[in-house]
Amino acid sequence: MESEHGVRFRNDPTALRGAFGAVLTPFTDDGELDGESLRRLATWQRNGGLHGLSVGGSTAEPSAQSFDERVAAIRIVADVTADELPFLPATGSTKLDETIQLTGAAAEAGADAVLVITPYYARPTQDGLIEWYGAIAREYPDLPLVVYNVPSRTAVDMAPETVHALRLAHDNIIGIKETTKDFEHFSHVLERCGQDFLVWSGIELLGIPLLALGGAGFINAVTNLAPRSVAEMYDHWQAGRFDEARRIHYALHPLVELLFVETNPAPAKWVLQRAGLIASDHVRPPLARVSSAGRARIDRLLERAAAVLEHEGIVLDAVSA
68: exposed, middle or buried (Cβ count in 10 Å: 0-12, 13-18, 19+): exposed
**144: DSSP letter:** -
Contacts with 207 (C-beta within 8 Å, 6 or more apart), sequence order: 19, 201, 217, 218, 220, 230, 233, 234, 249
Choice among 121, 133, 140, 148 that is catalytic:
148
The DSSP-derived string for 21-81 is: EEE---B-TTS-B-HHHHHHHHHHHHHTT-SEEEESSGGG-GGGS-HHHHHHHHHHHHHHH
Contacts with 239 (C-beta within 8 Å, 6 or more apart), sequence order: none
CA-nearest of 217, 220, 223 to 198 is 217
Checking phi first, is residue 214 left (phi over 0); if not, alpha (psi -120 to 50) or beta? left
Choice among 177, 234, 250, 269 that is catalytic:
177
Is residue 177 flagged as an active site residue? yes
Is residue 95 flagged as an active site residue? no
- Catalytic positions, please? 148, 177
